[in-house]
Amino acid sequence: MNNTIFTGKNVIVQGITGSQGTFHTRNMVAYGTHIVAGTSPNKAGSKIDEIPVYSSVKDIQKEFTVDISVIFVPAAFAKAAIFEAIDAEVPLIVCITEHIPVHDMLAIRRRLYGSSSSSSSVLIGPNCPGVLVPSKHLLGIIPARLATPGDTAVVSRSGTLTYEAMDLLTKAGFGQKYIIGIGGDMVRGTGFIECLEMFERDPEVKRIVMIGEIGGTDEVAAGHYIRDSVTKPVYAYVAGHSAPVGVQMGHAGAILGTNSLESAGAKTEYLKNSGATVADSITQLISKIT
Domains in the chain: boundaries: 3-124, 143-287
H or E element, residue 283: helix 282-287
Cα-to-chain-centroid distance, residue 256: 22
Cα-flanking dihedrals φ and ψ of residue 162, to 5°? -60, -45
H or E element, residue 19: helix 19-31
The parts of the chain modelled with pLDDT lower than 50 are: 243, 246, 248-249, 253-258
What is the structure's pLDDT at 15? 98
Task: Provide the 3-class DSSP secondary structure of residue 9.
Answer: coil
pLDDT in tens, 179-198: 999 999 989 999 999 999 99
What is the structure's pLDDT at 118? 73
Burial class (CB in 10 A: 0-12, 13-18, 19+), 242: exposed
| Cα–Cα distance for residue pair 176/231, rounded to 1 Å | 18
What is the structure's pLDDT at 214? 87
Contact present, 68 and 136 (Cβ < 8 Å): no
Whether cis (ω within 30° of 0) applies to the bond prior to 244 is no
What CATH number does the domain located at 3-124 have?
Answer: 3.40.50.720
Compute the residue count for the chain: 290
Give the architecture (CATH level 2) of 143-287: 3-Layer(aba) Sandwich (3.40)
Please name which of 146, 120, 154, 126 lies closest in space to residue 237, comparing C-alpha atoms: 154
Q: Do domains 3-124 and 143-287 have the same CATH topology?
A: yes
What is the structure's pLDDT at 253? 46
Alpha helices in 190-254 (DSSP H): 192-201, 218-229
Alpha helices in 233-280 (DSSP H): 264-273
What is the structure's pLDDT at 263? 84
pTM score: 0.93
| Cα–Cα distance for residue pair 246/105, rounded to 1 Å | 22
Q: Per-residue DSSP letters for 127-194? A: SS-EEEETTTEEEES--GGG--EEEEEEEES-HHHHHHHHHHHHHHT--EEEEEE--S-SS-SS-HHH
**What residues are annotated to the active site?**
251
Contact present, 256 and 231 (Cβ < 8 Å): no
Residue type, 224: H
Other beta carbons within 10 angstroms of residue 42's beta carbon come to 8
